[in-house]
């Protein structure tokens, strides 16, 4: 996970977040599925960037796993990504506090409804071993590594 403050002076009244996400099936077994993900959030005006990369393990009945991979017709986002974003949001919120920037909205990707259609699926999100926070004010750059548990 990386949080980068790009501009120390930016204090915009309105902040818009752009999202890029990637999901990739890494391994499939009977009643288990491992998916790699990458989530990149940037702001307009450009003053902060959050990037979360990791993998998630889904366990449950194969029919329920397949439901989690389906795309929500309202949001056009796979249901599994709702669960990933819920956990990534907490980390991005903490990083935004450290960087003193506005956090992304909790309902950024799913303003109409939360939750997936498959409730009998366990989702375990694993992030990399370190969290990196970078502040890049005018000339000074500071970086903090925080172990992830």
Higher pLDDT, 37 or 6: 37
Q: How far apart are CA 144 and CA 132, in angstroms?
A: 6
Count of domains observed in the chain:
1
For residue 144, pLDDT beyond 60: no
Specify the pLDDT at position 25.
92
Which position has the higher pLDDT, 77 or 36? 36
Per-residue pLDDT at 143: 43
Q: Which domain holds residue 128?
A: 2-147
Q: Which of 131, 101, 104 is nearest to 8 (CA)?
A: 101
Confidence bin at 83 (pLDDT 50/70/90): confident
Does residue 140 surpass a pLDDT of 70? no
Which residue would you say has higher pLDDT here, 108 or 141? Answer: 108
Mean of all residue pLDDT scores within the chain: 78
Mean pLDDT within 123-146? 49
Reported pTM: 0.72
Mean local confidence (pLDDT), 30-39: 92
CATH of the domain at 60: 3.10.420
């Amino acid at each position: 996970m990386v949080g980068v403050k790009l501009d120390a002076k930016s204090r915009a009244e309105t902040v818009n977040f752009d999202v890029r996400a990637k999901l990739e099936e890494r391994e499939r077994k009977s009643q288990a599925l491992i998916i790699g993900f990458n989530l990149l959030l940037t702001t307009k005006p450009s003053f902060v960037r959050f990037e979360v990369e990791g993998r998630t393990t889904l366990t449950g009945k194969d029919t329920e796993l397949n439901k989690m991979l389906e795309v929500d017709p309202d949001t056009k986002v796979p249901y599994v990504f709702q669960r990933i974003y819920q956990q990534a949001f907490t980390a991005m919120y903490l990083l935004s506090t450290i960087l003193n920037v506005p956090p992304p909205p909790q309902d950024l990707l799913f303003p109409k409804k939360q939750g997936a259609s498959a409730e009998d699926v366990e989702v375990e999100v694993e992030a990399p071993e370190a969290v990196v926070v970078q502040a890049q004010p005018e000339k000074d750059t500071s970086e903090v590594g925080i172990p992830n548990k």
